[in-house]
Amino acid sequence: MSWTDERVEILKQMWAEGKSASVIAKELGGVTRNAVIGKVHRLGLSNRTAAPAAAAKTTPEPEAVKPPPPREPEAKKPEPAPQAAAAPKPVEKPANLPIPPRKPIITAGQPLPPQPSANEISAEALANLAEVEKRARKLTLMQLTERTCKWPIGDPATEEFWFCGLPCQPGKPYCEAHTAVAFQPMSSRRDRRSASR
DNA sequence: CCCTGATTCGC
DNA sequence: GCGAATCAGG
């Protein structure tokens, strides 16, 4: 794979959204997180929101004197939204919109798991599930990885929402318990005729 | 151990 | 320019 214009766009977008290099790499496919990071740096958009923590470790800068700071002609971006701090209008709804700019990017992968619909699951499995969810690591979407259970718990529209996050079954997107309820053989969900209208 | 990004350097 | 290897850190 090569860095086509589109792929670079996706890269920029996702990086700007705070996606990790590995996630971006998976999304793009055909590249590793190293490739992504490398590209990010080459594009000059390394730090996204001030993170000097792991930025400077070894200062390879001989560091002498810099009389004339040859700064590049920084292109100004159209970002004139400084947020009104006063009380201009009585907005009754604070509206928690951390990430509203959901651009219509064409993300193919990332098959999110289905919501636990009203299925007929064995009592055992359900009981076990309840226990498992108590032990859930309550990961956020961004904390999910290849090896964390991606089973959603709670209502995405509220604060009460997170992902299981327990260790995945090899090759599965969920932990053992959630794999059990996610991939049910049709046999256990038949009798739908009880209310055969 | 899992993960993160940063840097180096041969290609 | 690219990205694997490596590094440094959480």
* A31 closest-nt by C1' vs CA: C3
Q: Is residue A118 part of a domain?
A: no
Domain's final residue, options A37, A57, A77: A57
Full domain range(s) for residue A38: 5-57
Q: What is the mean pLDDT of chain A?
A: 65
Q: Alpha carbon A152 to chain centroid distance?
A: 13
Q: How confident is the model at residue A184 (pLDDT cuts 50, 70, 90)?
A: low
Which whole number is the average pLDDT over A94-104?
41
C-alpha radius of gyration, chain A, whole number: 23
Q: What pTM was estimated for this model as a whole?
A: 0.38
Distance A34 CA to B8 C1' (A): 12
Which whole number is the average pLDDT over A153-162?
80
Q: Is residue A75 part of a domain?
A: no
d(CA A142, CA A99): 12
Q: How confident is the model at residue A165 (pLDDT cuts 50, 70, 90)?
A: confident
Q: Is residue A98 part of a domain?
A: no
Which positions 29-48 on chain A have a beta carbon less than 7 angstroms from any atom of strand C? 31-32, 34-35, 37-39, 42
What's the pLDDT tens digit per position in A12-61?
888 987 888 998 998 888 899 999 999 999 988 876 543 333 333 333 44
Total domains, chain A? 2
Strand B, nucleotides covered by protein (CB < 7 Å): 2-8
**Per-residue pLDDT at A110:** 43
Q: What's A86-142 look like in SS3?
A: CCCCCCCCCCCCCCCCCCCCCCCCCCCCCCCCCCCCCHHHHHHHHHHHHCCCCECHH
Q: Is residue A53 part of a domain?
A: yes
* A56 closest-nt by C1' vs CA: B6
Q: Is residue A67 part of a domain?
A: no
Q: Is residue A184 part of a domain?
A: yes
Distance A57 CA to C7 C1' (A): 10
> Is pLDDT of A2 > 70?
yes
Q: Is residue A52 part of a domain?
A: yes
What's the pLDDT tens digit per position in A58-85?
334 444 444 444 444 443 444 443 343 3
A30: nearest Cα among A97, A108, A121, A92: A108
Domain's final residue, options A21, A36, A57: A57
- Say yes or no: Cβ of A59 under 7 A from any atom of strand B: no
Q: Is residue A192 part of a domain?
A: yes
- Higher per-residue pLDDT: A80 or A113: A113
> Is pLDDT of A146 > 90?
no
